[in-house]
């Protein structure tokens, strides 16, 4: 690291490299070590967006774009599963929802707004 890098989430300087990413030891936030040249419309503005860049809000309906195996269980959520009445939450997994009578937290990058 050329200079003292701080975490963009908690602003602590306790970061370490992990492959192509930097990781904050205090809050476990990960981000790319090489600053990607993102277009102006892709700058993180705090809005949770789906795979197509459409903003998600509480109560929206979404569809899974990829089959996902749930950690700690033998259950797999199939691609194309429609999920209704989502909730946006803070954290690594931005979407809290109910699928097949289970509470599940998902990342928005695997969802498409219906």
Domain residue spans in the chain?
Answer: 1-37, 62-113
Per residue in 67-106, pLDDT tens?
999 988 899 999 999 999 999 999 899 999 999 899 999 9
State in words which class domain 1-37 has: mainly beta
Split at pLDDT 50, 70, 90, the class of 36 is: very low
pLDDT at 44 over 80: no
CATH code for the structural domain at 62-113:
2.30.30.40
Phi, psi of 110 (to 5 degrees): -105, 10
Instruction: Please tell me the pTM assigned to this model.
Output: 0.60
Give the residue among 101, 69, 64, 67 at the shortest CA–CA distance from 82: 64
What mean pLDDT value characterizes the chain?
85
Tokens of 92: 């690594």
Q: Where are the beta strands (DSSP E) in the chain?
A: 15-18, 21-24, 30-32, 62-64, 68-69, 76-77, 82-83, 87-88, 95-99, 102-106, 111-113
């Amino acid at each position: 690291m050329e200079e003292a890098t701080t975490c963009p989430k908690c602003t602590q300087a306790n970061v370490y490299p992990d492959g192509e990413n930097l990781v904050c030891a205090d809050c476990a936030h990960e981000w790319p070590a090489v600053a990607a040249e993102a277009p102006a419309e892709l700058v993180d503005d705090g809005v949770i967006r789906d795979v197509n860049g459409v903003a998600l809000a509480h109560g929206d309906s979404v569809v899974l774009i990829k089959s996902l195996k749930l950690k700690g269980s033998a259950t797999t959520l199939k691609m194309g599963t429609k999920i209704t009445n989502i909730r946006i939450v803070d954290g690594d997994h931005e979407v809290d929802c109910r699928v097949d009578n289970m509470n599940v937290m998902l990342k928005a990058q695997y969802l498409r707004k219906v």
